[in-house]
Chain A
Amino acid sequence: MATETALGASVGTTRETSGFRHWSALRNAAILLVAWEVLGRFKLVAGGALPAPTEVLIRFWSDRGDYPAHILATFQGASLGFLIGNGLAILAGILFAVSPVAARLGRGLNVAIFALPPIAISPILVLTFSGMTPRVVLAALGCYFVTMSATVTGISQTDRRMLDVVRAYGGGRLALLRLVEIRAALPAILAGLRVAAPAAVLGSILAEFGGGGRFGLGAYLIGSLGRADPARLWGIGLAATAMALIAYGIFALIEARLTRSTRAVTVAATPPGIRSEGSWLSTIAITLASITLPFLVWWLLLKVLGTPAMIAKTPAGVFDYLFLAPSATSAQTRLLAALGQTLPMTLIGMAAGLAFAFLLALASVVRPGIVRSFMPVALVTQTMPLVALTPLLVLLLGRGPSVILWITISVTFFPAFVTLAQGLGMVSRGALDVVRAYGASPFTQLRLVSIPASLPYLFAAMRLAVPRALLGVMIAEWLATGTGLGNLLNQSRGYLDYGMIWTVAVVSVLISVLFYQIVIVIERHVLRKRGMQPAV
């Protein structure tokens, strides 16, 4: 699935090994394709739910008249959202990098945008806006965090000595930005854009799911869901993947041309502004303001747009619906029941995805060949809008709880694996050599060096996994199982229960932010105790 969040992009290829990697990647792809063809041809999986690649291609060819309009519609939503989202993200990134106070004020908003499961707010957007706007907004939201944090990281990691030269000639804040920082941050910004590009495609598709529009790959997918035609669903899923991949590839090319180096660039998953300076009074004031800001923005947006109060619920409106209105008890019961289904699944799926990723990453330390041949596959999967493949998983796995788990594991596994493998790869040679010099076995090396050293990356992976896990569960619930928050959202959409739509959206964002903050607190505590720095 596309990385709405940062990660994947992060793994840089070193020049020396890339040739070899390409070959093994090609070989793996060929093996996969052949295996797939055999499985499909002989209907070995779920009674033909997995059609052979050739069947998918044939179906794609006979549907070729349908595709251009759908692809164009998704492209329009995604590209407009990409432009707006990244434009705002770069401006915000510059602001946050220049002003620590702004970064701390914006933290609440940034965390909320990072953590919000796009599916949860897509019905709201569809209610509040019309036409293309929901797609554009969701695509823009998908881009914002990645590019914003990339910009901040890029600017704040600018070589201090270059800044000193400019300052030594009396250069002020603007001169620093103009002559050094923006240019120095360009590789990081481009890496952000590269990850944001498939995220924009995904955002547009997600908005199409609930948008009721005629055109767009998401709309096409939903429309085709009812027919028992796996080959078409696969065709649409693959078309969406191809679109995301092309978007990713274009920016990877631009990046390579402009920066001339293939330095590994990690895109941060940490919102800026964690450091607190100044008196405790101002810290508390800024923290409170930062928490209030998202609600203020929400309220202001609705006021500016002038959406009728019945449809658009303000923070007070949601509170009223959930606690004060006559129907409040019934709403609470439904919400709690849904949460009771969704939360355990989210935690189990996330834990399983992380554990799986951690084990594979460790295995890859012992056998580096695993990473080398698996990483390209992982990177390709990173750019896949896995969400668009959800209907296919439904075909494969049915509509039971297992489909939720699989979807959740698959959306959390890849970013976590990429982060962890990268972290383990950065363990210092020297430290490993020391234990090796005393004859440590690979297992002892893992225990004494690699695992403790990669702790910051495990936390970084967890931070990333939180919102994705919730997104995965809700999508599976919405499209497949008809349970939990995802279903509640979908049902409320059908019943025009605006209060509940807003409530589910707000609650899911709050839960996501809460989990995220819990991870951050544990991370800070553990890492400080061990004298380590968080991985970005």
Chain B
Amino acid sequence: MTSTTGITLETVSRSFQGRGTVVQALDNVSLNCPAGSFTALIGPSGCGKSTMLRLALGLDDATSGDIGIAGMKPQQAAKAGLTGVAFQDAALMPWRSVEDNIALPLDVLGRKRADFSAKIAELIELVGLKGFEKALPGELSGGMRQRVAIARALVTDPKVLFLDEPFGALDQILRRQMNLELQRIWMESRATTLLVTHGIDEAVFLADRVVVMQSRPGRIGKIVDIPLARPRLPEVFTTPEFHALEDQVAEALDGH
């Protein structure tokens, strides 16, 4: 099952000790994201989708089960520089300029920044922030900050990309734009991508498969395949096919 750069979860459970109670955040979840695929995780709050992402990132340890990132343990994969991540709030460091924030993963991984200066410039261009290289996050708008976070996630040329509601804080218009850009970036890089989102349209538009999760205990309810051809254009949002897929996801969210 282990693909070269895929993500695999095998019977993963994670429980938290509350006040006298045990909260089952993830119960026996198995999921396989093949190399180069785009998977969206959607579900009500408390369904464990963020927990799943944190486990896959090695930020948290599973109570039981196995997680493989490109055939390695999450922490190993992270140390090997195979992964990239963008969180809901950009989580930029306010004291670092745009450039320096994008270069942060290089500093953590102990790579020479000089070798990546061309890459950083290219990414800044890609996310449309040319001219803002030296700006501090405080001087940028919310959308610009989020684009810095996306560029940061891509700086290591990740084989596996984790996106935790990366556009959650943006307005609907900007979000659409960013969805289009993300699709373009993803089609160029073909990194295995796991996107956690609240938006049904975003999930359907971007993903090959939408994994719908249920809460208490957190588990996978249904997996909806999205057979729409790529590149998907903005017009696809208005097609009957698209709406039908959205309805399928919505129904699965309601527990049908």
Contacts and interface: CB of A to CB of B under 8 A. Distances in A.
Interface in A154-172: 159, 161-162, 164-171
A162 to B, nearest CB: 5
B195 to A, nearest CB: 15
B134 to A, nearest CB: 15
A165 B86 CA distance: 8
A166 B87 contact: no
Contacts of A184: 93
Interface size class of B (residues with CB under 8 A): 20 to 34
B85 A165 contact: yes
Interface stretch (A119-127, A175-183, A228-236): A175-183
Interface stretch (B73-81, B205-213, B216-224): B73-81
Given A169-B108, A170-B75, A170-B109, A159 B59 contact: no
A179 B107 contact: yes
Contacts of B156: 169
Nearest to B81: A169
B105 to A, nearest CB: 5
A98 to B, nearest CB: 18
Given A170-B58, A171-B108, A179-B107, A159 B91 contact: yes
Contacts of A183: 93, 95
B129 interface: no
B133 interface: no
A302 to B, nearest CB: 44
Contacts of A169: 78, 81, 83, 85, 104-105, 108-109, 156
Contact of A168 (B59, B80, B92, B93): B59
A218 to B, nearest CB: 40
A534 to B, nearest CB: 20
B245 interface: no
A166 B58 CA distance: 11
A162 B87 CA distance: 10
A484 to B, nearest CB: 49
A159 B93 CA distance: 9
B79 A165 contact: no
A179 B59 contact: no
Interface centre among B83, B87, B108 (most CB of A within 10 A): B108
Contacts of B91: 159, 161-162, 164-165
B196 interface: no
Interface string A129-167: 000000000000000000000000000000101101111
A154 B67 CA distance: 35
A165 B109 CA distance: 12
8 contacts: A165-B152, A168-B59, A169-B83, A170-B79, A170-B80, A170-B81, A175-B108, A179-B107
Interface of A: 159, 161-162, 164-171, 175, 179-180, 183-184, 260
In the A-B complex, the 4 residue pairs with the closest CB atoms: A170-B79, A161-B91, A170-B78, A169-B108
Given A164-B91, A169-B105, A180-B93, 15 more contacts: A159-B91, A162-B92, A165-B91, A165-B104, A166-B108, A167-B58, A167-B59, A168-B59, A168-B78, A168-B83, A168-B162, A169-B83, A179-B93, A179-B104, A179-B108
